[in-house]
Structure 1
């Protein structure tokens, strides 16, 4: 049984897999269709009471409390879970992940499903953060008190209690555990505890961490996360906070289509892959004295009306001269080739930036790098613009994945004249 009183039910889908027909009531089906969780959710024209559900690039789990049963939709990634968490580690801390060059920035344990792995990772990070005790800090507090503490709020005292004391309106800095860092960690633990599929041992440890953080006020659902700033004092909290914020940023606590609330978390594989590619390549080119900018803004036309935003533009040491442009594509080959539209887009980038080569990095495809030399674009050297299509094998070990970016960075530096031809 589930907390809503009906038998729990799970629907398991796979990222970008063909649509699956599942039995759903109309309200739940409409809720899923309106939520944006799935690529498509439509009534099955051949089976009454069934809906055709197809997942897109979002992976994770969402729970839908209904009147009859609680439905959990789980979306498994095409990429092995251990690689998903490797990508996640890069998005959270690219410099550290690059230095390590291996799994371990986010510990997914032995679990092969997203929910158990993430629950384990979050709990382990929270435990590490709290190992030296719960962090405390100063928080501005305003209240009515029977004794004077801190400074009297004169305007409020006169407005509320003119001619009467006590109480006294005071303001002071309280040294407390109710600070943004602890509130975020508590919210992450509670988000995971609301989900089914969290293994019993992990659930018990998460409940224990919530008890340790009991002095932190729970977050108000739907509100923005409280702000915190990295400092020497919260250094031990920072890995846990980054992971907790990634979880909470992907959570869906306030979707209410059709009077149903979706509760859970989702990761966008498009974003994770893009963050991985750009983060890894940015660290790789730094080893050659180059710099890189993410989502760098440019224009295709002289009137500056057509905007371009490549995923990554690599610059020379002066920070002004572009030497390479890179775009990440979380796509697989269709019919033995990637879409031609990607090549057109890269050609526009190269033209606007005055570059004679551009690089597309895909999540899967042929092992060898494809090179396309564009007709009619030959420069003084007689060579036309070249567009490179690289493919990563996401099943490969992390060190092998990062070697691709080291090789690409070496090529970029070589084209720039640093390493010779």
Structure 2
């Protein structure tokens, strides 16, 4: 299986150089159906904007890593940063310790997701395959459960040795298990590591009494969870991610393809929110997300406050108010600081509308070290500045935010 790694919003995927004509057609058919707004298509080339993850085609695996030079020449450390954000935000519904992150990041993203899925699934299956009671009716040579007299008369007028009964029958061929098995079958052909293959076959054997067949996307929303099967909920979420992103069968292969893709603006903002909320008790502060109570302009004819301001975060402490807007962009490239004037105008609107706020921050992921500019609103003790946070681990992110919050001037 061919594997191609590219950086989001930076590297182009070229026809001929990276993928064949067949793979190109298969990829375009998929992205044009589901991800048109996230791709830029040129002549014989394509690149992905604001999404990361993997697209698994029938003959090639495309791994899209963060565009930022979080760690310049290390795909492994970029994967680790991505996994850190996915784990903290529960976009990947599993907790990953620092050592686990470092170990997983050595593999490509498909094997990382497969590893997570298999570990979660195997942990629960070792406690037993989940089974449910199902009400069954059948013509039986022995009386069991409840005897259905009317049905017995209809069906057994000439078979007096049989009894038509209704009874509860415990089964493992249920929708939850069929979904878990189907997700495993989908990723199994692409797993190359022998240990993961062995575990996959072991799980398949445990699911031998679970029927196979297509799973409709609508069925993924109909699995009920209760006290008995709650332990499977996390692994079900991963299975749901796999099947929800199941692609069409390639016309060049009978094998289904699929994707794991994450929108980076949303992921980064959600990750920063988790870090702020972690710090909230320590700093005795209130964190407001997507605050929309302020208006920039009011229509003088209608009287309606119809131009809203909506900063990502309004942080209210005991003696301070701070506005923070997250930007998933590379703020430094080859020593040059690359902020946009439009972002500064937006920050000016925030800092002047929020009367108590003394500071408004554009918060970027940390890439290269640099001295960032700081602006003052003329005649006022109000400032707009650029700050960055490390994404290598949650603890580093929290430490960087703690330092930013401690700066009062």
After superposing the two structures, state which structure 1 stretch, 287-296 or 325-334, moved more: 287-296
Cα deviation for residue 89 of structure 1 reads: 0.9
1:184-240 deviation digits (Å, cap 9, x = unpaired): 543442332243x54232123123224334555666143352356776655644543
Structure 1 counterpart of 2:247, from 246, 249, 253: 253
1:16 is paired with a residue whose SS is: coil
Alpha-carbon distance in structure 2 between the residues aligned to 1:272 and 1:111? 22
Q: Is residue 22 from structure 1 mapped to residue 15 from structure 2 by the alignment?
A: yes
Counterpart of 1:57 in structure 2 is: 50
Deviation of 1:362 (Å)? 1.0
Contact 1:253 1:262 in 2 (8 A): yes
Secondary structure of the corresponding residue to residue 119 of structure 1: helix
Is 2:180 the partner of 1:191?
no
| Aligned equivalents of 1:168, 1:408: Cα separation in 2 | 77
RMSD after superposition: 4.6
- Tell me the SS of whatever aligns to 2:395: helix
Give 1:8-407 correspondences, 5 Å limit. 9-23=2-16, 24-25=20-21, 27-28=25-26, 30-31=28-29, 34-35=32-33, 36=35, 39-43=39-43, 51-65=44-58, 70-78=59-67, 80-92=78-90, 103=98, 109=104, 111-137=106-132, 145-146=138-139, 164-165=154-155, 175-177=170-172, 182-195=177-190, 198-214=192-208, 220-223=215-218, 225-226=220-221, 233-234=228-229, 236-248=231-243, 251-253=245-247, 262-298=257-293, 300=295, 301-302=297-298, 303-315=304-316, 323-333=321-331, 335-356=336-357, 357-365=359-367, 367=369, 370=372, 372-376=374-378, 382-384=380-382, 386-394=383-391, 396-407=392-403
Shift in alpha-carbon separation, 1:127–1:373, aligned structure 2, 3 A = same
* Conservation of the 8 A alpha-carbon contact between 2:80 and 2:101: no
CA offset at residue 117 of structure 1?
1.9
From the superposition, tell whether residues 276 and 145 of structure 1 become closer, same or farther in structure 2 (CA, over 3 Å).
Answer: same
Q: TM-score of the superposition, structure 2-length normalised?
A: 0.71
Q: Aligned pair in 2 of structure 1 residues 216, 88: CA closer, same or farther (>3 Å)?
A: farther
> Aligned equivalents of 2:145 and 2:292: distance in 1?
50
- Distance in 1, Cα, partners of 2:317 & 2:260: 40
Provide the rounded CA distance (Å) in 1 between the counterparts of 2:101 and 2:234. 9
Distance 2:243 2:320 in 1: 36
Cα deviation, residue 74, structure 1? 3.1
Task: Summarize deviations over 1:63-104 as a string: whole Å, max 9, x none.
Answer: 334xxxx3443334455212221111101189996xx9x525
The CA deviation at 1:105 is: 7.2
Q: Secondary structure of the residue that 1:266 maps to in structure 2?
A: strand
Q: Secondary structure at the match of 2:199?
A: helix
Q: 1:406 to 1:189 in 2, by over 3 A?
A: farther
| Matched residues, number | 373
Gaps of 5+ in 2: 71-77, 157-161, 299-303
Cα 1:259–1:39 shift into 2, 3 Å: farther
**CA distance in structure 1 between the aligned counterparts of 2:63 and 2:167, rounded to whole angstroms:** 47
Question: Any unmatched runs of 5+ in structure 1?
Answer: 1-7, 44-50, 416-420
Provide TM-score, normalisation by structure 1: 0.69
The 2-side partners of 1:169 and 1:324 are apart by 73
Q: Is the 8 A contact 1:30 1:257 kept in 2?
A: no
Give the C-alpha shift of residue 368 in structure 1: 6.1
CA contact (8 A) 1:180 1:226 kept: no
Q: Which has the larger radius of gyration?
A: 2
